[in-house]
Amino acid sequence: MEPHTLAIVWFVLIAVLWAGYLVLEGFDFGVGMLLRPLSRDDTERRLVINTIGPVWDGNEVWLLVAGGATFAAFPEWYATMFSGFYLPLLLILVALIIRAVAFEYRGKIDDDTWRNRWDWAITFGSWLPAVLWGVAFGNLVRGVELDADHQMTSAFVDLLNPYALLGGATTALLFLTHGAIFLALKTDGEFRHRARRLAQRLAVASAGVAAVFVLWTQLEHSGKTWTWGAVALAAAGVVAALLAIRAGREGWAFAASTAAVIGAVVLIFGSMYPDVMPAINDPANSLTVANASATPKTLTIMTWVAGFLTPLVLAYQGWTYWVFRKRLTADRIPAPVGLPLRAEAGRR
């Protein structure tokens, strides 16, 4: 395979990895964001957490693989992006760590105040990445200031431009909708109907904001005819999700919202290509698929490894979702089993 073709293959594979991450982590971000607004008591909050309990940590693996693939296949893109976006990526990392710790520590002590604090940590750890990922991808599509050595010279405040902030609002609303649909899909009883009603309202809001974002992207930052297909997929996904959730077809609604997220990812990466990091100050300084890629030997080895391991990973994760496919209800949530707060304090 030609070196340039290998680079294109890996650009597409990285887009696929990001699509997988944003689809899967997107719904559990949405679940975390809705933990407090949708739940009326601690039992319902535990119900919400249990819907993603078996899968949330596996969903984060897609981020690690996407980052690792970028590092290996496009080392210069990785270096420029992770140094230039250092502060927002650090904030995302801190939020993900806080969120992971909150999931593990929430039930360790049987105390309402203890659980309440960790619930806020889950909420914060879900909202911040949901917004900042949209801001980051918005800047990748819009472009940043790069010098001749491909070093990013844009300041942090430059990243908070209207287009990127709209991207952050779009991802947050899409994830909220995706999460609400997932909760309606994974629960039953009164909570299921409540989640369904909320998903309908969120779908309307996300449709409006996402429409502005995808049209702005297509008309100003893409300029490619074929990416209109991605715009159509994203729009059709949001509309179909709204219609399906109104009809009580949560499975179809979840598939449709998945299609909407995938359409947005295809639009983002399609708009960037052949760049991986456009330079708005001088197009000659842009990082492209060609000048940012690793050596052909590295890409060839990675292709063989990915061809062998990817089906295994997909099969395992698919099996996990199949095993934990049943709906959950609040009346089947057992009593808390954490240590009493006084007993824990006495041990110290």
User: What predicted TM-score, i.e. pTM, was given to this entire model?
Assistant: 0.92
Q: How far is CA 9 from CA 2, 289, 299, in A?
A: 10, 10, 9
- DSSP-derived 3-state class of residue 101: helix
- DSSP-derived 3-state class of residue 106: coil
Cβ count within 10 A of residue 4: 13
Residue 3: the pLDDT is 66
Query: Could you list the mean pLDDT of each consecutive 10-residue stretch along the chain, which spans 348 residues?
Result: 83 94 94 93 92 90 91 93 91 95 90 92 96 94 90 88 95 95 94 94 93 93 89 93 92 95 94 92 90 90 88 88 89 76 52
Contacts (Cβ under 8 Å, ≥6 apart) of 347: none
CA distance 207 to 203: 6
CA distance 57 to 317: 11
Residue 333: the pLDDT is 82
Residue 110: the pLDDT is 85
Residue 345: the pLDDT is 46
The amino acid at residue 27 is F
Residue 5: the pLDDT is 86
Cβ count within 10 A of residue 38: 19
Give 246-302 pLDDT, tens digit per residue. Answer: 998 999 999 999 999 999 999 999 999 999 999 998 889 999 999 999 998 999 999
CA distance 138 to 80: 16
Distance of CA 215 to the CA centre of its chain: 21
Buried b (16+ CB within 10 A) or exposed e, 56-89: bebbbebbebbbebbebbbebbbbbbeebbeebb
- Structure tokens belonging to residue 194: 């409540």
